[in-house]
């Protein structure tokens, strides 16, 4: 009685009428398989052999319907935790699900790192998901955009040595569809609306599936959304195919998805499938819905159980007899028992491998491959409408960042640049008359003009949209170099950065990666920047495993470090100090299109023997001023180390300098308490205690916000005088 999934798929995919008896049987078998895997997991959880359980019970018909209308390993999938039936119908095995439930080393989705139901399969194009609701919708959008980019520029898919492309395989077909699902409660997340916005506006082939079981844990649908019906709220988005369907009805679900897939594959735009499901069990095994749902309501819901209804139908329509159903049930039970027994015997993850895949194993940005620093010679300036006009004159940090972006976009067709106002002009026709904007700080000026609006474009005013889409692009093998307009507004993207961008590789045990570059202007000393245009906050990001954090202090370093960031295989937060963009003291000649600086290598800005001053960013020139005065006025010889990259940082250079001078100050612009200096100072105290002749000192901003009035700003942020005083005090200790 067992049917191969593939044969059922072939036959169901071709028709649009009723499902044949044979197809209905296979549909039922997949639904049953899903329910019984849930039931076995529940048993294992009660026996304390697994540690968490959340079921797909009640959502099976919608999931199988979706899977059979799509093409596994061809289309792309961004499911959520209730999509067990979808995954099984795509070809995910109960054995693989059980391996994740027990947390086995051989769990193919995460190697024991993620909870059960956090699916991932590179061969099936099921992208590893986090537990966060709705974040993956933006990845789905970026994934669809990347598919479109590769089909327009197939040459960009070619492998290339010497950078991340050697390790990021690309597959695309040109008409692939992207599936992304959430529960109805999760449609309240801003990221849902941000994803709908871009999918609609760009006519992207994304199917948004809302699996509406009426509850978000204990919160009923009318509390989650006005009017209690998501279809009504989204109805005015242009370019969509909308369908609202009984998600407990296999045929209705399948046909809804067939129509949705047809709309998307034809390039007409996205689709929205709103399936009314039910929750056969509580939210998870940690929840008891009897606490908030009356018995009558639960009983009424149970009448809509898709599995019960379908079994009754197969009997009623004499498609199967009781005996035949029992045969199917036994076969399903046998398969699951074998899977569970196998999983319980499976090897456990090795503790020694915990930190594997936090960063790329393949490409080390601290390696000498990126150390072209010495060989690069001043050359002709790159960038701008003029192209490579000959010049060896000193250029600002803004110029050399812009030049690096031009160079790298020329070299690597997979790079896209997007963010708020980064294009020269979204309305291309205007460029015949106007110069173009190219970013509020003009760092991306000329990129759209040279590389076109498909590669350089403005985003909506939504930071999670920028980072979330970038993740989707990058996991398909592209290289998004996105801009957050001001560091002060990075916070709406924090969820994407902390729970998605930085952890995708680790949580999927190295299967997926999204080496995005985020450029963000940061910092104060602006005179009038005030609270929301002067923030620092780098230590919040260096506290995130998986994210590289870079903060150059001069034009040449910015050029070389940005090049490494772009070629690197890890996500990078590239912090550009606004005050340093156009300073004259940090200028440098254009160093050529292959100039790179490895991460984790500090620069000795000023050698000295009396005291070490560890710093970065805008405190480098301020520290230099203080050090020159200390020398002039007190003959104190300060060694200044510019860290340049904050994660990784150059411990060897710190240790060598502190061992030499025995006195150390860590200075930064960010607030003192819990700042970046706290970590460095603690490590020095811990590992270099015997070398110290004095306590480790720290300098930072006052523990407050940066004020508008300049006399307040001056007092809040560290000044050369502050640094000089600390130098004198420490020398005298
Ligand atoms: C961003 C985020 N906030 C909160 C949670 C905790 N949480 C997990 S599931 C859930 C309810 C989701 O309800 P719904 O979207 O309707 O999906 P359902 O579980 O009903 O299928 C909540 C609040 C989370 N996972 N992610
Ligand atoms: Mg729900």
- Asked whether the predicted pLDDT for residue 4 surpasses 60, the reply is no
Q: What is the mean pLDDT of residues 152-162?
A: 95
Q: Is residue 184 lining ligand 1, measured as CB closer than 6 Å?
A: yes
SS (H, E, C) 461-524: CCHHHHHHHHHHHHHCCCEEEEECCCHHHCHHHHHHHHHHHCCHHHHCCCCCCCCCEEEEEECC
Structure tokens belonging to residue 265: 């594959």
Structure tokens belonging to residue 565: 């960031």
Q: What percentage of the chain has pLDDT greater than the value 70?
A: 95
Q: What is the mean pLDDT of residues 627-638?
A: 98
Of all protein residues, the one whose alpha carbon is nearest to atom 25 of ligand 1 is 132
Q: What is the mean pLDDT of residues 350-355?
A: 98
- For residue 660, the CA-to-ligand 2 centroid distance in Å is 62
Q: Is residue 215 lining ligand 1, measured as CB closer than 6 Å?
A: yes
Q: What is the mean pLDDT of residues 588-616?
A: 97
**Angle at alpha carbon of residue 57, lines to 51 and 63, rounded to 5°:** 115
pLDDT of residue 385: 41
Per-residue pLDDT tens digits for 390-445: 357 999 999 999 999 999 999 999 999 999 999 999 999 999 999 999 999 999 99
Residue 570 is given by DSSP the state S
What is the helix (H) or strand (E) element at residue 575, kind and residue range? Answer: strand 572-577
What is the helix (H) or strand (E) element at residue 700, kind and residue range? Answer: strand 697-701
What is the atom index within ligand 1 of the atom nearest the CA of 182?
15
Of all protein residues, the one whose alpha carbon is nearest to atom 18 of ligand 1 is 183
Between CA 66 and CA 90 the distance in angstroms is: 9
- Could you give the 3-state DSSP secondary structure of residue 258? helix
pLDDT band at 5 (very low <50, low <70, confident <90, very high): very low
Of all protein residues, the one whose alpha carbon is nearest to atom 21 of ligand 1 is 183
pLDDT band at 17 (very low <50, low <70, confident <90, very high): low
pLDDT band at 373 (very low <50, low <70, confident <90, very high): low
pLDDT of residue 382: 57
Total-model pTM: 0.96
Q: Is residue 118 lining ligand 1, measured as CB closer than 6 Å?
A: no
What is the atom index within ligand 1 of the atom nearest the CA of 283?
19
> Which among 131, 185, 188, 218 is the best mutation to test ligand 1's pocket, defined by most ligand atoms within 8 Å of the CB?
185
> Which among 216, 221, 282 is the best mutation to test ligand 1's pocket, defined by most ligand atoms within 8 Å of the CB?
216
- Asked whether the predicted pLDDT for residue 306 surpasses 70, the reply is yes
Of all protein residues, the one whose alpha carbon is nearest to atom 12 of ligand 1 is 216
- Asked whether the predicted pLDDT for residue 374 surpasses 80, the reply is no
Between CA 33 and CA 35 the distance in angstroms is: 6
Ligand closest to the CA atom of residue 182: 1
Position with higher pLDDT, 378 vs 733: 733
Which residue is it, tokens 């350089």? 456
Ligand closest to the CA atom of residue 287: 1
Per-residue pLDDT tens digits for 675-729: 999 999 999 999 999 999 999 999 999 999 999 999 999 999 999 999 999 999 9
Q: Is residue 212 lining ligand 1, measured as CB closer than 6 Å?
A: no
> Which among 57, 84, 137, 217 is the best mutation to test ligand 1's pocket, defined by most ligand atoms within 8 Å of the CB?
217
Between CA 657 and CA 668 the distance in angstroms is: 18
- For residue 285, the CA-to-ligand 1 centroid distance in Å is 14
> Which among 53, 63, 80, 133 is the best mutation to test ligand 1's pocket, defined by most ligand atoms within 8 Å of the CB?
133
**Angle at alpha carbon of residue 183, lines to 178 and 184, rounded to 5°:** 115
Residues paired with 640 in a beta bridge:
606, 613
pLDDT of residue 372: 82
What is the atom index within ligand 1 of the atom nearest the CA of 216?
13
Q: How far is CA 26 from CA 67, 169, 252, in A?
A: 13, 34, 16
Between CA 167 and CA 160 the distance in angstroms is: 9
Per-residue pLDDT tens digits for 26-79: 999 999 999 999 999 999 999 999 999 999 999 999 999 999 999 999 999 999
What is the helix (H) or strand (E) element at residue 276, kind and residue range? Answer: strand 271-276
- For residue 94, the CA-to-ligand 2 centroid distance in Å is 24
- Asked whether the predicted pLDDT for residue 242 surpasses 80, the reply is yes
Residues 6+ apart with CB under 8 A from 653: 601, 602, 604, 641
Q: Is residue 132 lining ligand 1, measured as CB closer than 6 Å?
A: yes
Per-residue pLDDT tens digits for 558-578: 999 999 999 999 999 999 999
What is the helix (H) or strand (E) element at residue 191, kind and residue range? Answer: helix 190-201
Go through the chain and tell me how many residues it has: 733
- For residue 234, the CA-to-ligand 1 centroid distance in Å is 20
Q: Provide the CA 707 distance to its chain's centre, in angstroms.
A: 33
What is the helix (H) or strand (E) element at residue 604, kind and residue range? Answer: strand 603-606
Q: Which of 607, 630, 658, 608 is closest to 723 using CA atoms?
A: 630
Per-residue pLDDT tens digits for 359-372: 999 999 999 989 88
- Asked whether the predicted pLDDT for residue 229 surpasses 80, the reply is yes
pLDDT of residue 523: 98
Q: Is residue 214 lining ligand 1, measured as CB closer than 6 Å?
A: no
What is the atom index within ligand 1 of the atom nearest the CA of 54?
19
Q: Which residues have a catalytic role annotated?
A: 533
Per-residue pLDDT tens digits for 506-553: 999 999 999 999 999 999 999 999 999 999 999 999 999 999 999 999
CA atoms within 13 A on the CB side of 62: 33
- For residue 613, the CA-to-ligand 1 centroid distance in Å is 48
pLDDT of residue 617: 98
Q: Is residue 81 lining ligand 1, measured as CB closer than 6 Å?
A: no
Q: Is residue 402 lining ligand 1, measured as CB closer than 6 Å?
A: no
Q: Is residue 620 lining ligand 1, measured as CB closer than 6 Å?
A: no
Q: What is the mean pLDDT of residues 229-251?
A: 98
- For residue 133, the CA-to-ligand 1 centroid distance in Å is 6
Q: Is residue 213 lining ligand 1, measured as CB closer than 6 Å?
A: yes
Residues 6+ apart with CB under 8 A from 208: 137, 180, 181, 182, 195, 196, 199, 270, 271, 272, 273
Ligand closest to the CA atom of residue 137: 1
Mean pLDDT of the residues in the chain: 95
Between CA 284 and CA 257 the distance in angstroms is: 27
pLDDT band at 2 (very low <50, low <70, confident <90, very high): very low
Between CA 643 and CA 625 the distance in angstroms is: 18
**Angle at alpha carbon of residue 459, lines to 230 and 485, rounded to 5°:** 120
- For residue 192, the CA-to-ligand 2 centroid distance in Å is 14
- Asked whether the predicted pLDDT for residue 386 surpasses 50, the reply is no
- For residue 12, the CA-to-ligand 2 centroid distance in Å is 28
Q: Is residue 131 lining ligand 1, measured as CB closer than 6 Å?
A: yes
- Asked whether the predicted pLDDT for residue 333 surpasses 60, the reply is yes
- For residue 219, the CA-to-ligand 1 centroid distance in Å is 10
Q: Which of 16-30, 211-225, 323-337, 473-487 has the lowest mean pLDDT?
A: 16-30
């Amino acid at each position: 009685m067992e049917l191969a999934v593939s044969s059922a798929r072939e036959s169901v995919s071709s028709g649009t009428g009723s499902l044949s008896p044979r197809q209905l049987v296979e549909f039922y078998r997949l639904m049953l398989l899903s329910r019984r895997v849930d039931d076995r997991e529940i048993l294992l959880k009660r026996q304390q052999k697994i540690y968490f359980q959340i079921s797909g019970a009640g959502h099976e018909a919608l999931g199988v319907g979706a899977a059979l209308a799509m093409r596994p390993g061809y289309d792309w999938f961004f499911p959520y935790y209730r999509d067990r039936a979808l995954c099984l119908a795509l070809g995910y095995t109960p054995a693989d699900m059980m391996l994740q439930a027990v947390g086995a080393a051989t769990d193919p989705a995460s190697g024991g790192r993620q909870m059960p139901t956090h699916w991932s399969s590179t061969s099936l194009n099921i992208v590893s998901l986090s537990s966060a609701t709705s974040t993956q919708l933006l990845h789905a959008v970026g994934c669809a955009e990347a598919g479109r980019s590769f089909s327009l520029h197939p040459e960009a898919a070619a492998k290339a040595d010497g950078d991340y492309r050697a390790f990021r395989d690309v597959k695309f077909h040109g008409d692939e569809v992207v599936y992304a699902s959430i529960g109805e409660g999760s449609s309240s997340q801003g990221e849902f609306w941000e994803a709908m916005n871009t999918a609609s506006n760009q006519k992207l082939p994304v199917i948004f599936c809302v699996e509406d079981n009426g509850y978000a844990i204990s919160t009923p649908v009318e509390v989650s959304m006005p009017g209690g019906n998501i279809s009504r709220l989204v109805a005015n988005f242009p370019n969509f195919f909308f369908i609202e369907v009984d998600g407990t009805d296999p045929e209705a679900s399948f046909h809804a998805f067939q129509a949705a897939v047809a709309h998307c594959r034809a390039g007409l735009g996205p689709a929205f499938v709103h399936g009314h499901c039910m929750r056969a069990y509580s939210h998870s095994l940690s929840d008891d819905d009897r606490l908030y749902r009356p018995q009558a309501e639960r009983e009424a819901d149970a009448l809509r159980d898709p599995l019960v209804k379908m079994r009754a139908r197969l009997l009623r329509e004499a498609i199967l007899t009781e005996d035949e159903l029992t045969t199917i049930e036994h076969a399903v039970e046998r398969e699951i028992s074998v899977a569970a027994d196998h999983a319980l015997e499976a090897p456990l993850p090795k503790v020694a491998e915990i930190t594997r895949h936090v960063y790329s194993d393949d490409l080390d940005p601290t390696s000498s491959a990126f150390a072209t620093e010495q060989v690069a010679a001043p050359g002709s300036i790159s960038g701008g409408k003029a192209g490579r006009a000959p010049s060896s004159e000193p250029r600002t940090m803004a110029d050399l960042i812009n030049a690096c972006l031009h160079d790298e976009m020329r070299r690597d067709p997979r790079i896209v640049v997007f963010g708020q106002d980064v294009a020269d002009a979204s309305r291309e026709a205007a460029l015949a008359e106007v110069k173009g904007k190219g970013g509020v700080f003009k760092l991306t000026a000329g990129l759209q003009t040279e590389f076109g609006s498909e590669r350089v474009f403005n985003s909506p005013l939504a930071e999670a949209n920028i980072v979330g889409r970038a993740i989707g692009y990058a996991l398909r093998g592209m290289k998004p170099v996105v801009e957050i307009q001001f560091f002060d507004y990075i916070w709406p993207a924090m969820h994407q950065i902390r729970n998605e961008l930085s952890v995708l590789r680790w949580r999927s045990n190295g299967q997926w990666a999204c080496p995005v570059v985020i450029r963000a202007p940061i910092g104060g000393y602006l005179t009038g920047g005030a609270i929301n245009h002067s923030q620092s906050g780098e230590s919040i990001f260096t506290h995130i495993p998986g994210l590289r954090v870079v903060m150059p202090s001069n034009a040449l370093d910015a050029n070389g470090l940005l090049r490494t960031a772009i070629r690197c295989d890890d996500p990078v937060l590239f912090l550009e100090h606004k005050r340093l963009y156009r300073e004259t003291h940090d200028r440098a000649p254009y160093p050529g299109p292959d100039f790179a600086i490895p991460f984790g290598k500090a620069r000795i800005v000023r050698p000295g023997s009396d005291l070490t001053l560890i710093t970065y960013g805008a405190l480098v020139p301020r520290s230099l001023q203080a050090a020159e005065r200390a020398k002039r006025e007190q003959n104190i010889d300060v060694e200044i180390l510019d860290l340049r990259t904050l994660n990784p940082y150059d411990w060897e250079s710190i240790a060598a300098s502190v061992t030499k001078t025995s006195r150390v100050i860590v200075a930064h612009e960010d607030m003192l308490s819990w700042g970046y200096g706290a970590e460095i100072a603690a490590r020095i105290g811990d590992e270099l205690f015997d070398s110290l002749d004095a306590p480790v000192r720290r300098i930072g901003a006052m523990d407050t916000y940066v004020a508008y009035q300049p006399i307040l700003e001056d007092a809040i942020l560290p000044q050369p005088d502050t640094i000089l005083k600390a130098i004198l005090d420490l020398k005298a200790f």
